[in-house]
Amino acid sequence: MTEGPALPQDPVEPPMDAVPAAGPSDGYQVRLEIFEGPLDLLLFLIRKKKIDIHDIPIAAITRHYLEYLGKKEQINLDREAEFLFVAALLIYIKSQMLLPRETDLAEQDDPRRVLVNRLLEYQKIKAACSLLREKEEDQLLQWKRHFLPPLPGESDLDVVELSLFELAESFFVLMKRRAADSTRIIRGRDVTIEVKMKELVGLLRERRMIDFLEYFTAHESLEEALVSFFCVLELVKTRVAVAVQDELFQTIRVWLRKDPPRQVAHE
Amino acid sequence: MNSRLKETIEALIFVSQDPLSLERMQVLLEGVPGEDIRAAVDELAGDYSAGDRGIHIVRGGGGYLFATKPAFDRDVRRLLQIERKNKLTSASLETLAAIAYHQPVTQSEISAIRGVDSTYTLKTLLEKKLIKIVGRKKAPGNPLVYRTSEQFLLYLGLNSLDELPSEEEMSRILQEEKPADA
């Protein structure tokens, strides 16, 4: 067995809980979130303790690892189950190494082997990440026409009837744009679906067609916009109205169907 | 025709929405030898990078395309009203790298490589069209199989998967990291 005593600490190194997880104010709190996952934490410990990745002292690394996990007062199972899983794996490996054997283990039978291979592979991915990140940053500085709205296609009359889902997506884009616009005081005003529905159908009758984006931009409050959006969805769903988008990124036009089905009783 | 080859290519690259490959140019400019096209493209790219220009010709996604020069990033963003660019999160980038090097690959394989459940990150990458589903694996549960997309290459300015960082480059990074972190 290769386990040595705990490796000597580097004297200049700050105590473990301060590196690099905790800020100065949050004392002993350890933020596991800064690690992408258990393998990331393990690699960090290995590097920090100057451990040879091919000859990991399992007992020592497990201790450090558990110390890290223990700093957390509450374990969030959703996020940290993976950390606990690797802790269990470490303990399992240690137990395998403690088992008495008649013959010395061949290198490929080392219980640590599986973990080491995973760590090495993960380490490679991490290295690739930092190289890819450079490429990403480099590319993000150079704007291409590719990211602009596409040019009109061959036929301008390539009308697409929209699904409710696409309609909803447009709506969210719009709301996001509006949210970014400015902060303003929200005045309370009750809008009911019934009232809005009447208004909308009236408007559709009168104008024959409304411009989806324009219509919503004209609405003052979020609530009002939301309610009218529900109305449009309802109208499309009950097939009273049709929503059409000519081209990607263009507005959506809504109009009444010529012969709306009778069973709709929203008016 | 030949005297205006460079200008023709410039026009083609300008209008093209996707990276314009040499092969495609050769089809479009029938009769013009490949090496002439190549030379003209190189000359054109040279003109742009040397001159006082705001744009240049870059290679990416297997072809050539116009891009603004990095120096004008801030101005372009002001025009497009983009304050901050969305870089990939480190989880996304890590997942993407795992897929790039192990493709074709399933969700559980990616999660195993990362030691972290990657379902959500995969969804984000799919939405960004950086990866694509290429089928199902003939294994229990018939899990979906993922690959990186063309968009991925273009996003990172690569022309093919061969241009992904090599083993040597990665080990160089690892060598550099050690003394710095220890």
CA distance A233 to A241: 9
The pLDDT of residue A4 is 42
Average pLDDT (A175-181) is 70
Q: Does the pLDDT value for residue A38 go beyond 90?
A: no
The answer to the question of residue B83 being in a domain is no
Asked if A125 and B182 come within 8 Å (Cβ–Cβ), the reply is no
pTM beyond cutoff 0.90: no
Q: Of B46, B78, B110, which residue is a domain's last?
A: B78
CA distance B116 to A83: 9
Q: Of B78, B109, B132, which residue is a domain's last?
A: B78
Q: Does domain A160-180+189-256 have CATH number 1.10.10.580?
A: yes
Same domain, B100 and B169: yes
Same domain, B104 and B71: no
Q: Which amino acid is at B68?
A: T
Q: Which of B100, B104, B76, B71 is nearest to B88 (CA)?
A: B100
Same domain, B74 and B120: no
Instruction: Please report residues of B whose CB lies closer than 8 A to that of A141.
Output: 70, 73
Same domain, B176 and B94: yes
Angle at B173 between CA B172 and CA B178, to 5 degrees: 100
The answer to the question of residue B85 being in a domain is no
Same domain, B94 and B54: no
Low-confidence ranges of chain B (pLDDT < 70): 1-3, 177-182
Question: pLDDT digits over B138-169, tens only?
Answer: 888 889 999 999 889 989 989 889 999 988 88
Instruction: Please report residues of A whose CB lies closer than 8 A to that of B181.
Output: 47-48
Which CATH number covers residue B68?
1.10.10.10
Q: Of B78, B113, B133, which residue is a domain's last?
A: B78
Asked if B156 and A136 come within 8 Å (Cβ–Cβ), the reply is yes
Asked if A47 and B167 come within 8 Å (Cβ–Cβ), the reply is no
Which chain B residues in 79-138 lie under 8 Å from chain A, judged by CB atoms? Answer: 80, 85, 87-88, 90-91, 93-94, 96-98, 100-101, 112-117
The pLDDT of residue A113 is 83
Same domain, B115 and B174: yes
Q: Which domain holds residue B160?
A: 90-181
Same domain, B105 and B175: yes
Q: Which of A90, A3, A74, A73 is nearest to A38 (CA)?
A: A90
Q: Which of A112, A23, A11, A20 is nearest to A60 (CA)?
A: A112
The pLDDT of residue B31 is 84
The answer to the question of residue B84 being in a domain is no
Average pLDDT (A195-220) is 78
